[in-house]
Amino acid sequence: MDQSKLTEYWHKNLTYVVILLCIWGLVSYVLGIIFVKPLNAISIGGFPLGFWFANQGSEVIFVILIFVYVGLMSRLDRKYDVQE
Amino acid sequence: MSILTWTYIMVGITFSIYIVIAWRSRVATTAGFYVAGKGVPAIFNGMATAADWMSAASFISMAGLISFLGYTGSMYLMGWTGGYVLLALLLAPYLRKFGKFTVPDFVGDRYYSDTARVVALICAIFVSLTYVCGQMRGVGIVFSRFLEVQVHVGVIIGMAIVFIYAGLGGMKGITWTQVAQYCVLIVAYLIPAVAISVHLTGWPIPQIGYGAAISAVGPEQGKYLLDVLDVVNKDLGFAAYTSAFAAGQKSMLDVFMITFALMVGTAGLPHVIIRFYTVPNVKSARISAGYALFFIALLYTTAPAVAVFARYNMIDTLNDKPYKQAPSWFLNWQTTGLMAWVDKNGDGIIQYRPGDPFVGPPKFKEADGKIEHGKFGEPLVTNKLTDNQNELYVDRDIMVLANPEIAGLPNWVVGLVAAGGLAAALSTAAGLLLVIGSSIAHDLYYRMINPQASEALQLTIGRIMIFVAICVAGYFGVHPPAFVAQVVAFAFGLAASSFFPIIIMGVFWKRTTREGAIAGMIVGIVFTAAYIIHVKFMGAGFWFLGISAEGIGTVGMIFNFVVCYIVSLLTPPPPQDVQDMVESIRYPRGAEAAKAVH
């Protein structure tokens, strides 16, 4: 396979990684730590929102992020024919 | 049947299962011994990774820790799960494609240097040994609490069991026993949590239940559990449970730094990374990180619920109640030294307030080998009392250990919790011991001393090294050095400040040079270690921006990245074959070729 295709594959991979890591940082560090106090003013059910992001939300979203990455990369691997 | 009988039955059954699995998965090749023949399906690798990762501390202590910390405890929940996202996105697929056996393998080959290999090797052994001593101690404590044997007898039984399956089956034996151990520990954790959630809120899912309204009959019925707990905490003089960064709690910067250090440290721990070498291909490496985190999150999202239920139950049933009417589980657990009550004001009523009731863990007053009791029937302690109003001593481990009794569950559940605690401790210990054994036998002996060593000789050396490591860990389990609790900060700090940056740089920047990596690792480790030693052992304050020892790995990591980047730019680029190798690990195809090298 020619090098430019491979470079394109690698750059798409990096784009996915950067986007997903932004979400990773957003739910844990931004919503769960930096803005926890203002978010705690909002309640969902009995959970103050900031507290929920730190206590439960981040963990659940982390799991989803990994499976989204797996899905995106499987598609990308096939498209660029680099799969095993 | 009594709790003790049930405990023996549960522990006996689970241990027999582990030994049968170990016998069936014994190995005769180094690939089987170090990386389970690279044939573990992703979902099982996920379970094994989860069991490997969740230690006795996760199982027994974490919920209790969170229940005392409230919101601040979230740093452990986020920190110990978020690292898997980094693993899945930044490390696991590339290390699997690289396709050798250990972390020092990658560092040594990528940085074309035996010096780098040795630095990585020393870090891997130090981090793993630190960790494993704590696990053997955990095994001993579970044995002594539930089976009423001496701590050292418990440690020796644990050492023998681990040696049987780590020595016989290597990574393959460990992986399949860890799958069984995960099942045991998660069932043991969820049953009491679900039962308490139903009892208190009517929700069978604890993750939802702890934010729901209280359904149990009483004055608080219909109010949200977390709201009630906030009010109760404030009334007693604690910070509200869900509040952040209040007086007496950690600052925002500190919570941020600790969470980050734990995440990056997780992604840099050798016994976690090595698991991603065991799967058949790159795609499975990505997926198994996802499964691993899913299985970990099952426990890690239940823990904060257990923390809330336990704190509410404890305050509700004990605080401002006459000692004579205290529930039976409270009376039972006092004999273990995990709970105690001193009647400071002489009113016979239990007052729970902030602060320690007395100095240190309780030492009961004995005469003729019998514990002396006070006028309300409480065991008397000899500790020096503090001058606050708190009368109740509660060890954080009680929140999980006494859970089945607080919920009024049958005795077999108590036995199951003991088996679960042992499963958590043994599975982690085995994974760590394998890292130590393979680091010495593979990285030091085979790669550096005797590259001509036959398969059989390598296997024998690997088994001997595991045996030696078990003996060292067992010794420290029985005679814990005073600094055991403090060195845990070391394990994460060093993993964060040494491995993580140079593996990331090695994969994502071809220009990273040997000199850059070595300089980065050394600066990261020396800074982190010096700060931890200065703060923890020499009693200095948190002088660097008020960051605690647990969070300083984040700063060490940043230094490592910066130094590695600058030094790499100033030194000649890596040889072409190394750059080609970095290029090749970026594309999944051809993972089998790397395997054929060995």
Q: Contacts of residue B586 in chain A, CB cutoff 8 Å? A: 6, 10, 13
At B594, the pLDDT band (50, 70, 90 cuts) reads: very low
Q: Alpha-carbon distance B31 to B262, whole Å?
A: 31
What is the pLDDT, as a whole number, of residue B56? 83
Distance from CA of B188 to the nearest CA of A (A): 21
| Adjacent-strand bridge partners of B322 | B349
* Among chain B residues, CA nearest to A19: B89
Q: Which residue has the higher pLDDT, B596 or B391?
A: B391
Q: Alpha-carbon distance A6 to B583, whole Å?
A: 10
Q: Alpha-carbon distance B509 to A83, whole Å?
A: 23
What is the pLDDT, as a whole number, of residue B481? 64
Q: Contacts of residue B225 in chain A, CB cutoff 8 Å? A: 46
Q: Which of A55, A59, A77 minimises the CB distance to B588?
A: A77
| Adjacent-strand bridge partners of B367 | B370
Structure-token pair, residue A46: 């009995």
Averaged pLDDT, B219-238: 92
Closest CA to B327 of B391, B406, B409, B402: B406
Q: Contacts of residue A51 in chain B, CB cutoff 8 Å? A: 71, 74, 226, 242, 244
> Is the CB of residue A6 less than 8 Å away from at least one CB of chain B?
yes
Contacts 24+ apart (CB under 8 A), B242-245: B242/A40, B242/A48, B242/A51, B242/B70, B242/B71, B243/A40, B243/B70, B243/B71, B244/A33, B244/A36, B244/A37, B244/A40, B244/A50, B244/A51, B244/B71, B244/B72, B245/A36, B245/A37
Q: Contacts of residue A76 in chain B, CB cutoff 8 Å? A: none
Contact B82 A6 (CB under 8 A): no
Is residue A49 in a domain? yes
> Is the CB of residue A12 less than 8 Å away from at least one CB of chain B?
no
Is residue A40 in a domain? yes
SS3 call for B28: coil
Q: Contacts of residue B289 in chain A, CB cutoff 8 Å? A: 66
> Of the ranges B6-20, B64-78, B446-460, B582-596, which one carries the lowest mean pLDDT score?
B582-596
Q: Which residue has the higher pLDDT, A60 or B449?
A: A60
Residue B483 has pLDDT above 70, yes or no: no
Q: Contacts of residue B78 in chain A, CB cutoff 8 Å? A: 28, 32, 54, 58-59
At B597, the pLDDT band (50, 70, 90 cuts) reads: very low
Q: Alpha-carbon distance B493 to B258, whole Å?
A: 10
Contact B293 A66 (CB under 8 A): yes
| Domain extent at residue A21 | 14-79
Residue B591 has pLDDT above 60, yes or no: no
* Among chain A residues, CA nearest to B91: A17
Q: Which of A9, A28, A73 minimises the CB distance to B259?
A: A28
At B197, the pLDDT band (50, 70, 90 cuts) reads: very high
Q: Contacts of residue B85 in chain A, CB cutoff 8 Å? A: 20-21, 24, 62, 65-66
Which residue in this structure is represented by tokens 């992001």? A53
Contact A70 B225 (CB under 8 A): no
Residue A18 has pLDDT above 50, yes or no: yes
Q: Alpha-carbon distance B595 to B598, whole Å?
A: 6
Q: Which of residues 55-84 of A touch B (CB under 8 A)?
A: 55-56, 58-60, 62-63, 65-67, 69-70, 73-74, 77, 81-84
Structure-token pair, residue B497: 């400040």
Which residue in this structure is represented by tokens 């006459």? B322
Q: Where are the domains of chain B?
A: 12-23+43-314+409-481, 339-394
Is beta strand B370-371 parallel, antiparallel or unpaired with respect to B366-367? antiparallel
**Interface predicted TM-score of the whole assembly (ipTM), two decimals:** 0.96
Cβ-based burial of B374 (10 A; exposed 0-12, middle 13-18, buried ≥19): middle
In tens, the pLDDT along B119-174 reads: 888 888 888 887 887 777 777 777 777 777 777 888 888 888 888 888 888 888 89
Q: Which of A21, A59, A74 to mutate to test the interface with B (most CBs of B within 10 A)?
A: A59
What is the pLDDT, as a whole number, of residue B77? 95
What DSSP string describes B437-470?
HHIIIIIIIIIII-TT--HHHHHHHHHHHHHHHH
Residue B191 has pLDDT above 90, yes or no: yes
At B217, the pLDDT band (50, 70, 90 cuts) reads: confident
In tens, the pLDDT along B57-113 reads: 888 888 988 999 999 999 999 999 999 999 999 999 999 998 877 888 899 999 999
Q: Which amino acid is at B169?
A: G
Closest CA to B39 of B446, B575, B597, B592: B592
Number of folded domains in chain A?
Answer: 1
Residue B595 has pLDDT above 50, yes or no: no
Averaged pLDDT, B220-238: 92
Q: Alpha-carbon distance B466 to B578, whole Å?
A: 32
Question: Using the 8-state DSSP alphabet, how is residue A82 labeled?
Answer: -
Which residue in this structure is represented by tokens 């001496």? B150
Q: Where are the alpha helices (DSSP H) in B538-575?
A: 552-570
Q: What is the largest CA-CA distance in chain B?
A: 82
> Of the ranges B20-24, B177-181, B387-391, B473-477, which one carries the lowest mean pLDDT score?
B473-477
Q: Contacts of residue B510 in chain A, CB cutoff 8 Å? A: none
Residue B487 has pLDDT above 70, yes or no: no
Contact B74 A55 (CB under 8 A): yes
Average of per-residue pLDDT values in chain B: 88
Q: What is the 3-state secondary structure (H, E, C) of B248-264?
A: CCCCHHHHHHHHHHHHH
Burial B142-165 (b: 16+ CB within 10 A, else e): bbbbbbeeebeebbbbbbebbbbb
How many degrees, rounded to 5, is the angle at CA B456 between CA B94 and CA B29? 40
Q: Contacts of residue B84 in chain A, CB cutoff 8 Å? A: 62, 66
> Is the CB of residue A18 less than 8 Å away from at least one CB of chain B?
no
Percentage of chain B with pLDDT > 90? 47
Q: Alpha-carbon distance B181 to B61, whole Å?
A: 18
Contact A24 B245 (CB under 8 A): no
Q: How many A-B residue pairs are in contact by the CB < 8 A criterion?
A: 132
Q: What is the largest CA-CA distance in chain A?
A: 56
Q: Alpha-carbon distance B119 to B567, whole Å?
A: 17
Q: Which residue has the higher pLDDT, B484 or A11?
A: A11
SS3 call for B392: strand
Is beta strand B339-341 parallel, antiparallel or unpaired with respect to A47-48? unpaired
In tens, the pLDDT along B316-349 reads: 889 999 998 888 888 878 877 788 999 999 899 9
Dihedral, B553, B559, B564, B567 alpha carbons, nearest 10: -150
Is residue A67 in a domain? yes
What DSSP string describes B321-354?
SBGGG--HHHHHHHTTTSEEE--TTSSSB----S
Structure-token pair, residue B136: 């053997």
Closest CA to B56 of B152, B181, B210, B190: B181
Q: Which of A66, A67, A69, A81 to mutate to test the interface with B (most CBs of B within 10 A)?
A: A66
Q: Contacts of residue A17 in chain B, CB cutoff 8 Å? A: 89-90
Is residue A73 in a domain? yes
Structure-token pair, residue B10: 């549960």
In tens, the pLDDT along B243-292 reads: 989 888 889 999 999 999 999 999 988 888 988 888 889 999 999 999 99
The CATH classification number of B12-23+43-314+409-481 equals 1.10.4160.10
Is residue A18 in a domain? yes
Q: Which amino acid is at B446?
A: Y
Chain centroid, CA B404 distance in Å: 22
Percentage of chain B with pLDDT > 70? 97
Contact A40 B255 (CB under 8 A): no
Contact B82 A24 (CB under 8 A): yes
